[in-house]
Amino acid sequence: MSSTITFYIARHGKTLLNTLDRVQGWCDSPLTPEGIEVAQFLGAGLRDIRLDAVYSSDLRRTRQTAEVVLGEHGQTELSINEVFGFREACFGSFESDFNAKMWGNVALFLQYVKMEDMYRDVFHGKISNKEALDVISKLDHMGLAETFEQVEHRSQKALREIAAQEASEGKDKNVLVIAHGMSIICMLQNLGGKELLKGHLENAAVCKVTYRDGKFSVQSMGDMSYVHAGRELGEKK
């Protein structure tokens, strides 16, 4: 009998570099108090879902988020498995620089006068996230920035390996994955996420994905309802 593996793939909580509006790919920074709080809300909002396994990228901000989520969720006995494939995209020489500089350069390359106009067209599907990320790779003078396909390949490979491993026991399971905004988009866009994504992924936003008989189905992208539910539970205390 086939099993169904349900993935709850969430972006990490807000970090120091997020707060400073700096590029954060392979460089890393800790969660801020606000980032810890939103991770707590996520953990509370997921309480009705019993988790069977937890994975994160190998960067500190995702592991820290996973630890906070599990603490609030009440399943601290679960091990957090770190996976390189879920790591954020590498932005090369733009790492830790201001977002406005990197995305401003991307906008100019794509012949936009205003960065906001480019963002609008990305969110409305006139420009793909693939195009934007690939421009960063072209502009990186160090040659370290990853292309969309590179991030997609490693993140999907990790997801498929985990899905097959968890499904091998023949039981339905719920699996939590804490990853990053761009890496999640790269991982899920061509699995069905493109049609469901309406904007950027907020901190602690959840993408729900099911796996059955070797196939993935993206159910939602950027869902903040779990965070909202957890916040409401906290307000009732």
Rounded Cα gap, residues 205 and 217, in angstroms: 18
pLDDT band for position 75 (cuts 50, 70, 90): very high
What pLDDT, on the 0 to 100 scale, is given for residue 234?
76
Structural domain boundaries in the chain: 5-86+146-236, 91-145
Share of the chain above pLDDT 70, in %: 99
- 215-225 mean pLDDT: 97
- 99-110 mean pLDDT: 96
Neighbours of 84 (CB within 10 A): 11
Q: Considering only CA atoms, which of 110, 114, 137, 104 is closest in space to residue 21?
A: 104
How confident is the model over 10-52, as pLDDT tens digits? 999 999 999 999 999 999 999 999 999 999 999 999 999 999 9
What pLDDT, on the 0 to 100 scale, is given for residue 1?
61
CA 8, 201, 179, 19 torsion: positive or negative?
negative
Share of the chain above pLDDT 90, in %: 89
What pLDDT, on the 0 to 100 scale, is given for residue 221?
97
DSSP 158-197: HHHHHHHHHHTT---EEEEEEE-HHHHHHHHGGGTTTTT-
Superfamily in which the 5-86+146-236 domain is placed by CATH? Phosphoglycerate mutase-like (3.40.50.1240)
